[in-house]
Every structure is written in structure tokens, then in C-alpha cells.
A and B are shown apart, each in its own frame.
Chain A
Amino acid sequence: MQKIKTKIYQWLLSADHFLQICYLLVYILLIISLTAGSVYASTVKIANISVKGLRSISESELLYMFEIKEGEVLDDKKINNGIKTAFLKGTFDDIQVYKNALSGGDVQIVIVVKERPFIDKIEVDVDGEISKSDIKGLFQMKVGSIFSKELLENAVELLKEGLKGKGYPYAQVRPVYEIEPKTGKVFLKLSVFGGTPFIIRKFILNGSDDYIKKRFNIKVGDVYNESFVKSEIERVLKYLKKKGFYAGLDGTYSYDVGTGTLTINSGNRNKLKVVFNNNKAYADSELKDEMPFIAGQQSDDIIIEEGILYIKSKYYQKGYINVEVKGIVKKGSNVDEFIFDITQGDKYVVSDISIDGASDDEEEVRRHIKYKKDEPYNPDILDTEKDSVNNYFFNRGYPDAVTAVFKPTIDDSTKKVKIDINVKKGQRYIIKLIEVKGNKSFSEKEVLQTINIAKDTPFTEETLLNARHRVSYLYQHNGIMADISLNKKANGSNSTSITLVVNIVENRKFFFGKTIVKGNKRTKWEVFKRVFKYKTGEPFNIVMVFDAIRQLYQTGLFKHINWDIYNAEGNVKDVLLTVEEVKAGAIEYGLGYGTDDGFRGSVEGSYINLFGRNVVLETKGQASESGQKISLSYKEPWFLGEHYPFTTTLFFENRREKNTETGDTKYKIKKYSAVSMVEKQLTENVTGYLSYDFSLVSTYDVHPDVILSREDTGTLAISSIVPAFIFDTRNDPFSPTEGFYNGLNMKLASSVLLSETDFLKLSGHINYYKGVTKNLTIALSLKSGLAEGWNETREIPLVERFFLGGSTTIRGYKKDNLGPKGQDNNPTGGNAFLMGNIELRTKVYGDLGIVNFLDSGNVWQKIDEIEPTNLKYTAGMGIRYKTPFGPIRFDYGYKLNKEEGESPDEYHISIGQAF
């Protein structure tokens, strides 16, 4: 036999056959078998590196991909890998690396790159009836695509194919292009000559009349556009189904080139009518909507059979266990009637459920099953309920002999069903010991810590799966491919104690190579580099790649980020991220109304990618009945090379504060501020802020009533530092249903900081949200603030004092109208406040909700005047309508301990939750 085989192989390897038959495959397999990776040892050092021909990326990004540095020993392998890594970016057509020997024995490295030309503009010129947008849609090269002659030729061929499908079989396409040598930009002009198209000279709708034919937007004289014909058939089919014709077209068509005849074949011309006789348990429409008809796909018999089964199952759900259904089809000249006669019979309900053998688990089983006392008995779910009880015990550590028998006893005289459930739980296995086998990269202790199963834990499939998942994660996290399996073994015969055995087969270990980014036109390399927490040579961990992608999305710069992993030489994996940038600039404007500020308008302009570094420049302008605000912000997401967002804001405000009761002006303010703030994420939920605030506040036209100190009128410079902390575990910042939102804020203004006033202001809040049911959330809030001045400052300046009342505080009062008042009843604000709010937020329908609330609180002029028992209470309710920018809100608040002269209630319209 061996002789025979040798003969065949000799024949196979004869020169002719080798080249003619097996050339390609043999070559491919041959090349596969050759091992790669020879290393060219070198001892020369790189004195300096220069790059030529680079225009679209930075030199540092290119050198990162090459991983070479001045002063290092020249490593040809690094150069080889660097060329391939850099090429993955998709920017280059050619990369060449040269060395130039210097006098001291070191070398100069010269990297010469040739960047790919890309399409900057496409112009289409058409001779014929074809639309330019159709051509642009069919043409595969787009603005921004790489350009090459070969790619252009292929794209032109595909365009011609596409035009053929649109009815232009003789279309000619002539491309002309121009490449700008300095920038690589390509201007492409496509001249398209439509030629003689296929024309529809005759339109036949086989086996149908004008009613259906008229539904088509196809007429004689049109160009035969095949994709349009297909879409028309689909559209008309949908229309016919809506009108009751369940199989009006059979979906086939043909076009005869010689005669120009388009033929579309129709199907069953009759309408479908479904009739339910004696249907009492459901509305006809409810049954009909869910009937399993698939028009034109099934025979009438199957439709009837499936219909009967469906109706029966629906009736079983309501306890009609003896329902009888008969179905017939009546074919008419215009209508096919599917008639179902229903005899529903009596309704049976569950009278009692007895559970035997479940011992301590009886109540849990009762809660677990769908059968409930006095509710309809559905025989259809007997088996699934049995499985459900079995699974319950299986997951509680009884894997061997769990059997649950459901025995219904039907009493036809009372129409009651008693269900007896008999459970044989069998043995419960307890994990007494865990053995780890095959672990090399991690100690047994590390694996056991990862598994995290306590001694005497009941053995369940879930425990097993979770343990396996955790060990797999440990290995993946460290770049190791490993096969993990877990099984149990009994500790002695008939023993319920078991040993869990973790079998680990460690395979290859992978390491991070380079991360290449492509598709970024404006965004600089440093924006990407700073989020890559992994380094070349570290164990490969895909979770770290996902984390980097998540952080890149958080910059707001990208619409899409796709990732690919490339196996580089050795056990190295390169990561390729392909990004699509969003438009960095935006202008937004809005008009609104709120009871606090009246009508208002705002305009906001922002640019989020200044210098390609994700630096944000933002300006806002807002005008309302109470004043104007203008701000200009500069936000650097990384401050001093660390991820500490830094913001500087210049702010101007011109505001008139009025007594909301009387409408009289209390005071006017012109405020110029410059605020610089740095923030740091301290833990997953805690963020710290530190800001410096310099404000020049001019308070004028002040009603004498509200003047408490010399600083309440005139121009005042306030220079302060403000440390703050936020603890946020909310699940949704706009409408939270779970979590805390707590904050602590301190403002210190001092003459040491060149402030004209000295005070310390402390404020804090604790907000808690808890979803009680799917549609009901309880929201609680407690807020307080204290302020004290020193040196010349007795009362803190008017603009810094605490006020309560309004849509976000105590809603039975107008804005800032609660607390100490002057002789003319104008609120003066104070140095201390305490406030508590309770809200019950109920989702009513869709995005609409209602809120019931109780607010309480008060303001005191001085800290030593605080009386926690002297609080004002208001109760009320409101309506919320959810929008993407927060709920639109209407609240009505009623004073519970109104004082003489006060209005009994207030209403508020605004956006966002109260807290």
C-alpha cells in the first residue's frame, strides 16, 4: 500500500501538476509551515531618529508604534514589527527605514513614509435620467476613502453593475482624478453616460384586476429599475394585507428585454375574514390580532389547526378546560372565511394546593409556582410548573433525585381543581473541600480566593457556573488562555459531602502589543494614549481595552469606536481602534417659561475638541424677565498630565431680584466672576472639587428693608476658595429611582485672599431615592446651610445669604419668600437654613407621572437663632412629563402652617426634578 501512495505522491509532485494543480494551496500551506521571527542581533546604538514625509499624524505617535528611542540599541525586529504596526493605521502606502552610520559607531535612523492619498471631493456629472444621489449611493468610494487606481477601477465596475440593476445596462462611467501632491487630497470627477435604458413598454399583473395594478407606482414608459420593482411589490403586499387580502401577490416578477414587458404575478385575490362564533371570554379583536396566520405561507388546514390550538390555549388560561373549538374554511368569490365555533364550557378554579415532601421549602415553592388558590386552573402549564419546582430544588443543592409530581383532582360538580404536589428532594450535597489542579500561573490560595465559595455551601449548578466564570475571568484578565472545568466528587460512598475539583489547563499567555488608532481626523494621539492604562509587554486583558473604549466614549468626541485584535509575532496582540468622530462644534438655543424667572431664552455655543485635545470651549447666554447671564468656559479634561478636569469660567450676571409677593424690586445686582475649578474622581462614587472664585458684585437699588449690613449695597470684591465633595450612586441623574446623591460644600472668603468680606459658609445635602415598585419611587432630601462672618462682616453679604421658597425648595412659597423679613415684608435671607423634602413619584402612563410631596424648612438670620421646631410645612402635588433633558414639571404647593397675610398656596412650572 505504501508503494501505491508513494506513486501517487510522485505523480502529484511532478513539476507540471505541482504548478498547474496544487500551486496555490501547496504554496499557502508551505508558507504557513515556515517559522517566522529571525532576529538580527545588533549592538549599534541609535543616536537620533528622523522622520520624513509625515503629515497627518504626530511623530510621537509613529515612534510609539515603532517602539524605538534614541539611545537604545538598534533592534531590527522592532523595526520590522514597527513597520507592520504603523501600517495598520491605514495611513501609509509605503514605509522605509534607513540607517546612516555616524562617526562614533552609532547610527542615525531615518524613517521615510509615504502617506496614502484620500478622496477629498467627488463631483458627479450625468448625461441621462439617472439621479446623482443614486450614483453617489452606488459608488463605493466616498469622501474620506483611501484612493488608488485599482480601487477606483473596481468601484467603477461595481457602479456600472449597480446602474444595470437600475435599468441602465449600457451605462458608461468615465472617472477623472487629480491628486494634490502636498496634501494627498484627491479630487474625483465621475462622468456618467446613461445610454439607452431598459424601458417598461408593457406592464402585466398576471391573474389580477386593475384594483391591485393601480396600487403600483409603476407605469409604461418608466425605466425598468429592478430594485424599485422589488420595493413596490413589498409595499403593495403590505397595503393589501392591511386591506384584508392575505396573499394578494405571490412576490414573483419578470422582465422581458426583447418586448420590454414587466410581469408581476398576483396571488389569492380574495380577502381574509376571521369569524369567532360564541367567543365570550375575549374581545374578537384580541383573539384575531394574535392569531398565528402567516399569509400565503400555509395551507388552509394548517391555519385552521393552529387557530384551534391557539384559541384553546387562550381559553385554558382563563380556566375553561373543557373548551371545544371547531374550525372551517368557506371559500367565496371575494372572501375566504375562516370560521371558528367555540363552546367554552365551565370555568374551573384552583381550590387548594397541597405540597408534600418540601418540608422547610413549602412556602417558597408555593410562592414559586404560578397556580394560586381561587385563580383559574390552566392545564397547559402543568409540565412547565413541574420543571420550575424541579429547577428550584436543583438550584438549592438537590441535584440527584428531585422529582415533583403535580396531580390535579378535578371536581366537575363544584368546578374546582385541587392540586397535589409531591416532592422527593433526594440528597442535598454540601461542598466540604475544593481541589485545584493544573494551576501554574496562580497559587491554589489565589484560585480559591477567586472562586470565593465558603465551606459547607450547598452544591448547585449555579455555584459551579459562577465559580468557573470567576476563574476564567482571572485567567483572561492576565492574558492567559486556559480551559477551565469544574466537577464534583463524592467524599465516600453514600456521602452527601462532596469535593469540588477545579481543573485548569493553561494554554498560551498573550501580551499587549501596540494600540493603533485610525479614523481620527481632528483628535490628537495624546487623547487616546492617556486612556490606555496598559503598556506594551503587559499581560493581554481585553477588559482593559473595553475600559479604554468606554473612557474614549466619555470624551464625547466619537460616534463609533470599533475594535479589532491582531495577532502580532510571538504571543503579542495589537489592538486596532477605528473611530468615527462627531462634529466638534454645536450651537443650541431654547425658549422657555418658569414661574421663578418668567419667560426666558438661551443660546449656547460649544466646541469640544479645541487643538484636537478634547479641550472644551463653551459660551452661554441667557436672558429672562429677571435678568441676563453670559458665561465663557474653558475646560481642560486632563490637568498637569493627570485626569483632573480643570475648568475656568468667566461669568457676567445682571439680575433684578424682586419680592415675588408684591412684585417690587428688592435689589439689583451686577456680578462679574472668574472661577477656576479642578475636580478629581476620588472613588467610583465620590468626586472632589476645589475651586477659586473671584467675584466683583455691585448691589444697587436695594430696598432698605433687606439691608442688614454695610456690605449689602455698593460694590464688593469677594475672593474665596471652595472645596466640595459629591457622593453619587444614582442610577439616573435626571429621574433617579435608586441611590444617594449627597454633597458637602464649604466657601471661605477672607481678606487673606484679598476679599473685602470675611465669611465661612457651609452647606450640605443628603438625597435618597428608592424605587418601591416599578412605578413608584420615594425620594427624600435633607439640606442645611450655615454661615458666619468675622472681622468687619457681621451678616454675610446679601448675594451670599440663604433663601428658601420656590420650585426646588419649599413649594408652598414663592421664590426666596420664606424666612426673616424686613419691615415692609421683604425677605432678607439669613445665615442658616434647614430643609427636608419627601416626594412620592408615581409613573402613570408612558412618560407621564404624578408626584405627591411634603416640604418643610426655615431660614434664620443668625446661627444662634436656629429653632428646628419652628419649621414651615407645605404639601402638594405635581405633574411630570419625561423628556430627554429632564422632566417638565408643574407643582402645586399648599401651606400647612400659613401665617396671617400669606397666600395659601403657590404653583410652579419648571424643568427637572425638585431634587
Chain B
Amino acid sequence: MVLFIVEVNGDELINKVVAFVDNEAITLADLKEKYEKTLKVVPDTTLRQVAETMVNRLLLKQEGVRLKIVGDSDDEIINKYIDMSIRADIVVNYEEVEAFFNKNRANFADIELDSVREDIEKLLIEEEVNKRLQAKVEELKKRTYVEIHKLDAP
């Protein structure tokens, strides 16, 4: 926590903008809070990674709002956006599931394909969601005013 306190000419920094997406700001206080909580789940995460993820969230939320997706919270809008605009378009066929199973046969030594088919399908869908999400975020970054200010390493 101490690492975030900055003093300039005797004035103690309370809070500031650390990143923004168009007109929506991410503050130091928000980043700090998210970073500390993320550390508990993913210990090797960096401040920059959390800031980038927060930026990505804002990008996706803004795109959801642009597409008239409504929700009581940002989380709801993002989830709906991912479901409606990305996940809904993904179809995984049997051949792909089988190929994945065969490729990772070593991990499924004593397991029949049919018993894990649904889980592999879910995994492949999530993999594809992720790929498309990555591409979408990159595309959104190109047409949005995004900036992450220089962050002090914790």
C-alpha cells in the first residue's frame, strides 16, 4: 500500500487517473483495489496487466452500450455483450472435439471421448471466445482513445 503514496512538493497524492478509455477514467484507487485482490488469486500478476484488463473491460462495456445492450451494472453489460456478440456465433463440431482429444491423448489416458466431449466442447468454445475477444479488443483499441499512464511498479 505504501508504494502507492506519492508526494510532490510536500503534497500527498490522494488519487489520480491512471488510464482512460475515451471519456471513462480508471483511477489509482480502483486499480490499487483490483490489483490487491487479483494478487490473491494470481500471485504473479503485474500492475500493468490489471490496468490493461480494466481498460479491456471498459472497451467491451462501451461497445456493449454502443450496441444498445442494457444492464444494471457494467458487469452485466460485458457478460451480455460477450454472450450475444461473441459466444453466440461460435460452433464447435465433433471433428474439432475429436482432434483436440487425440492431440491431448496423454492427459486423457483412461477416459473415453464421449465422457469428456461436453467439457472439451466448452473448453474449445472458451478458447475461441478468447481468441475473438482478443481480436475484438485490438480492433476497439484502434478506434478508441485509450491511454495507460506510466505506472509505478509495486
Chain A residues proximal to chain B, CB less than 8 Å: 1, 4-5, 7-8, 11-12, 21-25, 27-28, 30-32, 34, 36, 38, 40, 76, 79-80, 83-84, 87-90, 92-101, 109-110, 146, 148, 150-151, 154, 481, 508, 518, 564, 567
A83 close to B34 (CB less than 8 A): no
Residue numbers in A under 8 Å from B8 (CB-CB): 98
Query: Taking CB as reference atom, which chain B residue is nearest A116?
Result: B145
B130 close to A22 (CB less than 8 A): yes
A110 close to B123 (CB less than 8 A): no
Q: When each residue 92-130 of chain B gets 1 if its CB lies under 8 Å from chain A and 0 otherwise, what string results?
A: 000000000000100110010001100110010011011
Kindly identify which residue among A8, A92, A99, A567 contacts B74, using a CB–CB cutoff of 8 Å: A567
Residue numbers in A under 8 Å from B146 (CB-CB): 150
Kindly identify which residue among B12, B41, B104 contacts A98, using a CB–CB cutoff of 8 Å: B12
Nearest Cβ on chain B to A92's Cβ, whole angstroms: 8
The answer to whether residues A27 and B53 also contact, given A22-B127, A80-B29, A98-B8 and a CB cut-off of 8 A, is yes
The answer to whether residues A100 and B127 also contact, given A7-B107, A80-B27, A89-B23 and a CB cut-off of 8 A, is no
A11 vs B103: C-alpha distance in the bound complex, in angstroms?
14
Nearest Cβ on chain B to A32's Cβ, whole angstroms: 5
The answer to whether residues A28 and B127 also contact, given A76-B29, A80-B30, A89-B23 and a CB cut-off of 8 A, is no
A29 vs B119: C-alpha distance in the bound complex, in angstroms?
19
B25 close to A98 (CB less than 8 A): no
Residue numbers in B under 8 Å from A100 (CB-CB): 10-12
Nearest Cβ on chain B to A175's Cβ, whole angstroms: 16
B142 close to A12 (CB less than 8 A): no
Kindly identify which residue among B27, B82, B104, B108 contacts A83, using a CB–CB cutoff of 8 Å: B27
B126 close to A28 (CB less than 8 A): no
A31 vs B10: C-alpha distance in the bound complex, in angstroms?
34
A83 close to B15 (CB less than 8 A): yes
Residue numbers in B under 8 Å from A567 (CB-CB): 72-74
A90 vs B25: C-alpha distance in the bound complex, in angstroms?
10
B130 close to A1 (CB less than 8 A): no
Residue numbers in B under 8 Å from A11 (CB-CB): 104, 107
Kindly identify which residue among A1, A28, A94, A151 contacts B17, using a CB–CB cutoff of 8 Å: A94
The answer to whether residues A154 and B143 also contact, given A11-B107, A31-B38, A89-B23 and a CB cut-off of 8 A, is yes
Question: What is the total of A-B residue contacts with beta carbons within 8 Å?
Answer: 140
Query: Taking CB as reference atom, which chain B residue is nearest A98?
Result: B11
A95 close to B33 (CB less than 8 A): no
Nearest Cβ on chain A to B89's Cβ, whole angstroms: 15
5 A-B contact pairs sorted by A residue (CB < 8 Å)? A25-B129, A84-B27, A95-B16, A97-B16, A99-B12
A83 close to B16 (CB less than 8 A): yes
B38 close to A96 (CB less than 8 A): no
B54 on interface, CB distance cutoff 8 Å: yes
Kindly identify which residue among A12, A79, A93, A151 contacts B15, using a CB–CB cutoff of 8 Å: A79
Query: Taking CB as reference atom, which chain B residue is nearest A101?
Result: B12
B13 close to A96 (CB less than 8 A): yes
Nearest Cβ on chain A to B35's Cβ, whole angstroms: 10
B79 close to A32 (CB less than 8 A): yes
Residue numbers in A under 8 Å from B60 (CB-CB): 28
Q: Which 7 A-B pairs have the closest CB atoms?
A: A98-B11, A87-B25, A96-B16, A90-B23, A27-B53, A34-B37, A25-B130
Q: When each residue 20-48 of chain B gets 1 if its CB lies under 8 Å from chain A and 0 otherwise, what string results?
A: 10111101011001100110011000000
A891 vs B130: C-alpha distance in the bound complex, in angstroms?
77
Q: When each residue 58-73 of chain B gets 1 if its CB lies under 8 Å from chain A and 0 otherwise, what string results?
A: 0010000100000011
Most A-side CB within 10 Å, residue of B10, B23, B65, B120: B23
Residue numbers in B under 8 Å from A150 (CB-CB): 145-147
A469 vs B30: C-alpha distance in the bound complex, in angstroms?
40
A96 close to B17 (CB less than 8 A): yes
B147 close to A87 (CB less than 8 A): no
B16 close to A94 (CB less than 8 A): yes
A83 vs B16: C-alpha distance in the bound complex, in angstroms?
7
B11 close to A110 (CB less than 8 A): yes
A4 close to B130 (CB less than 8 A): no
Most B-side CB within 10 Å, residue of A8, A11, A38, A92: A8
The answer to whether residues A148 and B25 also contact, given A4-B115, A100-B12 and a CB cut-off of 8 A, is no
Q: When each residue 127-140 of chain B gets 1 if its CB lies under 8 Å from chain A and 0 otherwise, what string results?
A: 10110011001000
Instruction: A25-B126, A31-B53, A79-B14 are known; give 18 further A-B pairs, CB within 8 A.
Output: A8-B123, A21-B130, A22-B126, A24-B133, A24-B134, A24-B137, A25-B129, A30-B42, A31-B38, A32-B75, A79-B29, A87-B24, A88-B23, A93-B20, A94-B16, A99-B14, A100-B10, A567-B73
